[in-house]
Copies of this chain bind each other. A is one copy, B any other.
C-alpha cells in the first residue's frame, strides 16, 4: 500500500509518500514541500497548490491519500488559509478517484510516538527512526506529512474500509 500524506498549508504544504502494510512499514518513497508566496493572490496560491498536488498524485500513484485535519483553535490569522489548503488537498485525492482519509493532529502524533501530545521534534525523531532514515527529513515541514502517511498505514485504512462498506450497505 502506498500512501501520500499531506500536512495542509498555504505557505508551506508538506507532502510525504510512504510504502507499507499494517504492522510493517516499508520505505519512504519521497517527500517535498509545496510553497507559495504570502504576497501572491489567494487564487494563484490555491491554483499552484492544486496543480502541484495533482502532479505529485500522478507521479507517485498512491493507493490512498491521508490529510491532517485543521481545527479552528489554531493560529486564527492563518487558519482560514490552512483550511482552504486542506480543502484543495482533500480534493486532489478525490479527483484522482482515491480514498481520502483525514486524521487529527493527536491521532497522528499518537500513531508515531505513542503520545497524542508529542512535540514536533519527537515526531521528526520517530519518523526518522521508523523509516530507518540516515538523517531527519528536511525541511521539517515534510516530517509531519510523512507522519500522517505512517499513521494511515498503521491503521491499515481500516476506518476507510468500514466506512466504504457502510456506504455500500446503505445503497
Interface residues, chain A, with chain B CB atoms under 8 Å away: 41-44, 46-47, 50, 70-72, 76, 79-80, 83-88, 90-91, 93-95, 99-100, 102, 163, 167
Contacts and interface: CB of A to CB of B under 8 A. Distances in A.
A85 to B, nearest CB: 7
A83 B72 CA distance: 10
Given A43-B93, A43-B100, A163-B41, A80 B72 contact: yes
A42 B79 contact: no
Interface of A is mostly: helix
A85 B84 CA distance: 7
A57 to B, nearest CB: 13
Nearest to A84: B87
A11 to B, nearest CB: 14
Contacts of A99: 43
11 contacts: A43-B99, A43-B100, A46-B87, A46-B90, A47-B95, A50-B91, A50-B94, A70-B80, A72-B72, A88-B88, A88-B91
Nearest to A101: B43
> What 8 A-B pairs are tightest by C-beta distance, nearest first?
A84-B87, A83-B83, A87-B87, A43-B100, A47-B94, A43-B94, A72-B76, A46-B91
Nearest to A69: B80
Nearest to A65: B43
Nearest to A42: B90
A72 B75 CA distance: 10
